[in-house]
Amino acid sequence: MSKKQFLAIKLLTMIVLTIVVSTSVVNGFWVLPIISLLATLAFLLIIKKNVKEVLTDERDYKITGDASRYTIYVYSFIGAIIVIFLASLDNLDYQNWINAIAYSICFLMILNVLIFKILNKRK
């Protein structure tokens, strides 16, 4: 299978998955989206093994790593500014937002460190 064929199948699979998930959620079926997501993941992993061309290279991984790092920095910086601004308003109505943003920043940074340590031990 060529890279172009794989990408076309992947696109069609994602379209079908989107239709199934959105229809299921609207109709109140919560198990079907999970099953269809897992089935789609398995299907894509199986057909990905049949691709004879190179799908990604070292440059793609480097760019992805840089983008991830900058995303964490920007999200943390903007989130911290929002938390400081909302906290300075001294309004209890914003307390839930302050906590949610602050904890999400902490979670993201801790998760980043943990994943980095795990990946660093593997290599």
Structure tokens at 67: 């983008």
- The SS3 assignment for 16 reads helix
**Range of 12's domain?**
3-48
If asked whether residues 117 and 96 sit together in one domain, one would say yes
pLDDT score for 57: 76
Does residue 59 carry a pLDDT above 90?
Answer: no
Q: Is residue 93 part of a domain?
A: yes
Structure tokens at 15: 């379209």
Sign of the torsion formed by the C-alpha atoms of 29, 31, 33 and 39: negative
Q: Is residue 114 part of a domain?
A: yes
105 Cα distance to chain centroid? 15
Amino acid at 77: F
Amino acid at 50: N
If asked whether residues 64 and 108 sit together in one domain, one would say yes
> For the chain, how many structural domains are there in total?
2
Residue pair 108/75 in contact by the 8 Å Cβ criterion: yes
Does residue 28 carry a pLDDT above 80?
Answer: yes
Residue pair 42/83 in contact by the 8 Å Cβ criterion: no
Q: How far apart are CA 48 and CA 2, in angstroms?
A: 10
If asked whether residues 35 and 64 sit together in one domain, one would say no
Residue 73 pLDDT level (bands cut at 50, 70, 90): very high
If asked whether residues 62 and 117 sit together in one domain, one would say yes
If asked whether residues 43 and 63 sit together in one domain, one would say no
Q: How far apart are CA 22 and CA 16, in angstroms?
A: 10
pLDDT score for 65: 87
Does residue 123 carry a pLDDT above 80?
Answer: no
If asked whether residues 71 and 105 sit together in one domain, one would say yes
**98-103 average pLDDT score:** 95
pLDDT score for 90: 84
15 Cα distance to chain centroid? 18
Q: Is residue 112 part of a domain?
A: yes
If asked whether residues 118 and 62 sit together in one domain, one would say yes
Of 12-16, 47-51, 96-100, 107-111, the range with the lowest mean pLDDT is 47-51
**9-35 average pLDDT score:** 92
Q: Is residue 79 part of a domain?
A: yes
